[in-house]
Each structure stands twice: as structure tokens, then as C-alpha cells.
Amino acid sequence: MTNLTARLQRLFKPGRGWVIAVPLLWLTLFFLLPFGIVLKISLSEAAISIPPYGPIFDYANETLNVIVTFSNYLFLTTDTLYVSAYWGSVKIALLATVLCLAIGYPMAYAMARAPAHWQLVLLLLVMLPSWTSFLIRVYAWMGILSNNGLVNNVLIWAGLIDSPIRMLNTNFAVILGIVYAYLPFMVLPLYANLTRLDTSLLEAASDLGSRKFNTFLRVTLPLSKGGIIAGSMLVFIPAVGEYVIPELLGGPNTVMIGKVLWEEFFHNRDWPVASALAMVMLAILIVPIALFHRYQSRELEE
């Protein structure tokens, strides 16, 4: 009993309660609750009305009818477009993440080993592009990759090819765009992790006769696992739902789920199917998000 009153007192101590309540309420209302609404609408029927979906609860003749339909989810399985869009998104995002890691890890490693007065400059140089404009950085590749773009012009001028190679509007361009746009987000957590690496461990390994590469494989790599997970999730999860990059750089063969969802919503105005698409995407991403959360909360709370 005293325990309970103490707890209540602590909770309602002026100030403390408010400090907790304000961000908690804001995020619950504008981040958590919306997912519930998406779920609800994914279970309702499409209708020609404003807004374009039917009611779930219907009160008529003194009875409350709950109309729940799974037809939107079933519809996703009948059309191969959706299945291939999910599969395509995961495949492209996975490939882009691996490439980001392969480029980003050596970069972060070199940054962490750079002289102290260089580290801040390098960090700012890597992050600066991400502070400009995502849209414009993706757009930059349109001029470089197009049929009469820079790369093709240079190749033709050098006599290496006779007619332009089609690079824009392909999956290659989409992967390149994702790697380019998300690379800073891979480097940042890796760098943060690698700077904290205890160098005495590496010295110990080399004193014990370990080769450089062996030390990297056995000591550095396992210790930077947290950074690898955080960086990979920061690239993979948003990349799966990416809309801008496949829209600008992708072609007719690029089916990614973010783009399909956008088209269902804005062009077909089928809100229930768009909601079902979002719920399934969320279900696919829930494990990666949980993985990221576990790492991030360890970072924040320690």
C-alpha cells in the first residue's frame, strides 16, 4: 500500500508527470494511433464516397453491425503485382544495404583511424550531402545516367560504345540511387561505433601474434556488430518503402511496394487496399524495426 502511494506520489509530483505526458501523448496520438486507423480501414470495404471507404460499425434497426472484410488482404494475394512488388522491394533494398555496408564500413574505419583533428571534418563531409536535399540528390543521377546523359556521352566520345547504354529507368539505377542517398546513414553509426573501439584490444591481439586481417575478423568485426546492425537497418527499412527513387530512376520493370502503395492511393483512390498494403509492409518490417529499436535503446539508455 505504501509502495503504491509512493509510486502515485512520484508520478504526480508536479512537473514530472507533465514532462512524461506531453511527448508520450503527442507521439501516441500522431504516431501510434494512426496505425490503428490504417488497420481499421484495411478491414473496410472500398466505397464511392468521401472518404472512399465503407463504415466498419453500422448502427441500424437497434443492432450494431460490425462489418469486417478481409477481402483487401485476399485481393493482395490474387494479383501477382503485389507479391512481386513486395519481393522486388526486399530484394532491391537488401542488395543496396549490402553495397552500402561494403562501401561504408571501410570509410567509417578510415575515419575512426584518422588523426583526431581530421575526424570532425571527415564526419561533416560525409553527412553534408544528407543535409542538402534528398530529392535533388536523386535527381542529379537522372542527368548523369540518361541516354544522352554524362556517362553515355563520355563513353561515346571515348569510342568505347557506339550507341548509348540504357541505364536510367532500370533496377541498376534504383540500386545506385538508394546506395547514394543512404550511404551517410550507414557510415554514421559505424563510425560512432568504431571510434569507441578499445584500441588496446587490437594491440593485445597483435602482441599475441595475430595478423592484421585476422585481428579485424576476430576482434574489430564482432565488436562493431551493433554499428553494422544499426547502419543496415537505417538503410534497409526505409529503402523497402522507398517511393521517390523508383519513381525517378526506376523503369516499367521496377515494381517496388512504396510506389505501388502511392499509386493505389493517389491514382486509384483505393484507400482500403493502400491500407492493407501498408499493414503487410509493416508486418514484413516489424522484425528489422525491433532489431533497430533494441540497438538504439541500448545506445540511448546504456
Partner 1 sequence: MRKPSFTTVMLIAGLVFLYLPMIILVIYSFNSSRLVTVWAGFSARWYVELFRDQQILSAVWTSLRIAFFSASMAVCLGTLAAFVMVRFARFRGKTALSSMVTAPLVMPEVITGLSLLLLFVHMAQLIGWPADRGMVTIWIAHTTFCSAYVAVVVASRLREVDLSIEEAAMDLGARPVRTFFQITLPVIAPALAAGWLLAFTLSLDDLVIASFVSGPGATTLPMVVFSSVRLGVSPKINALATLIILAVSLATFLAWYLMRRSEARRRQAMLQDMTAGR
Restricting to residues 230-249, which ones interact with partner 1 according to CB under 8 A? 233-234, 237-238, 240-244, 247-248
Beta carbon of residue 76, minimum distance to partner 1 (angstroms, whole number): 15
Task: Work out whether 125 is an interface residue with partner 1 (CB under 8 A).
Answer: yes
Looking at the Cβ atoms of 22 and 204, the one nearer to partner 1 is 22
Q: Which stretch binds partner 1 (CB under 8 A): 9-17, 57-65, 78-86, 217-225?
A: 9-17
Segments of 88-152 assigned E as strands: none
Among 218, 225, 269, 293, binds partner 1 (CB under 8 A): 293
User: For residues 215 and 21, what is the distance between their CA atoms, to the nearest angstrom?
Assistant: 48
Chain positions 258 to 287 lying near partner 1, rule: CB under 8 A, are 258, 261-262, 265, 271, 274-275, 278, 281-282, 285
Task: Work out whether 142 is an interface residue with partner 1 (CB under 8 A).
Answer: yes
Cβ neighbours around 259 below 10 Å, total: 21
Segments in 196-270 forming alpha helices (H):
199-207, 212-215, 221-223, 225-240, 244-249, 257-266
**Terminal Cα-to-Cα distance of the chain (whole angstroms):** 32
Q: How far is the CA of 272 from the CAs of 21, 58, 66, 170, in angstroms?
A: 33, 17, 16, 30
Provide φ and ψ at 209, rounded to 5°. Answer: 95, 10
Q: Which cell numbers hold the place of 168?
A: 536510367
Looking at the Cβ atoms of 84 and 144, the one nearer to partner 1 is 144
Among 94, 139, 166, 197, binds partner 1 (CB under 8 A): 139
Is the alpha carbon torsion for 96, 101, 102, 108 positive or negative?
A: positive
Task: Work out whether 153 is an interface residue with partner 1 (CB under 8 A).
Answer: yes
User: For residues 217 and 203, what is the distance between their CA atoms, to the nearest angstrom?
Assistant: 14
Chain positions 50 to 69 lying near partner 1, rule: CB under 8 A, are 51
Task: Work out whether 3 is an interface residue with partner 1 (CB under 8 A).
Answer: no
Beta carbon of residue 235, minimum distance to partner 1 (angstroms, whole number): 9
User: For residues 66 and 167, what is the distance between their CA atoms, to the nearest angstrom?
Assistant: 51
Chain positions 62 to 101 lying near partner 1, rule: CB under 8 A, are none
Q: Which stretch binds partner 1 (CB under 8 A): 63-71, 77-85, 202-210, 289-297?
A: 289-297
Beta carbon of residue 55, minimum distance to partner 1 (angstroms, whole number): 10
Beta carbon of residue 136, minimum distance to partner 1 (angstroms, whole number): 4
Looking at the Cβ atoms of 51 and 159, the one nearer to partner 1 is 51
User: For residues 220 and 106, what is the distance between their CA atoms, to the nearest angstrom?
Assistant: 12
Considering CB under 8 A, how many residues would be counted as binding partner 1?
A: 91
Chain positions 178 to 197 lying near partner 1, rule: CB under 8 A, are 180, 183-184, 187
Q: Which cell numbers hold the place of 26?
A: 503527442
Among 109, 170, 171, 229, binds partner 1 (CB under 8 A): 109
Beta carbon of residue 204, minimum distance to partner 1 (angstroms, whole number): 21
Looking at the Cβ atoms of 205 and 240, the one nearer to partner 1 is 240
Cβ neighbours around 147 below 10 Å, total: 14
Among 43, 92, 126, 228, binds partner 1 (CB under 8 A): 126
DSSP codes, 161-205: -SS----TTSHHHHHHHHHHHHHHHHHHHHHHHHHTS-HHHHHHH
